[in-house]
Amino acid sequence: MTDRGVIVFGKVEQGYVEVGTRITIAPSLKTAQVLSIFNSKEELVKYAKPGENVKLRLGGLADESEIRKGDVICPRDDTLPITEIFIAEIKVLQLLEHKPIMSQGYKSILHIHTIQ
């Protein structure tokens, strides 16, 4: 949403975010700056740590169409690598004897936040 800057909602997964931080939005590589931070109680705070749900007001973006659900905000000088292919191998260590939901040829689904 927009209110004197673009407002985004999310969770701090790693590191920290503080007012004034210059950021990059991955994977589009758009740049912006954190103008203000609100915690889960809608209180204005100076910084947020991992695990905290936050609402950020960003400056430097034309409108909310420049950021999408699933985008990642990272420091401008330490952007995340972008990939198009992810290959994983699943090793099943133990199944419930009364309900073995996985068997040979089972097609599993991996959910990663907004990606399936």
Is position 21 within any domain?
A: yes
Supply 23's token pair: 């950021």
Is position 12 within any domain?
A: yes
Is position 50 within any domain?
A: yes
What pLDDT is stored for residue 79 in this prediction? 85
Beta carbons within 10 angstroms of residue 71's beta carbon = 16
- CATH number at 21 reads 2.40.30.10
Is position 39 within any domain?
A: yes
CA-based end-to-end distance of the chain = 25
Domain region containing 35:
6-75
Query: Which tops the pLDDT comparison, 76 or 90?
Result: 76
For the segment 61-85, what is each residue's pLDDT rounded down to a tens digit?
Answer: 888 888 988 889 999 988 888 788 8
Flag whether pLDDT at 114 surpasses 70. no
Is position 100 within any domain?
A: no
What pLDDT is stored for residue 2 in this prediction? 64
Q: How confident is the model at residue 109 (pLDDT cuts 50, 70, 90)?
A: confident
Is position 31 within any domain?
A: yes
Is position 37 within any domain?
A: yes
Q: How many domains is the chain partitioned into structurally?
A: 1
Beta carbons within 10 angstroms of residue 24's beta carbon = 19
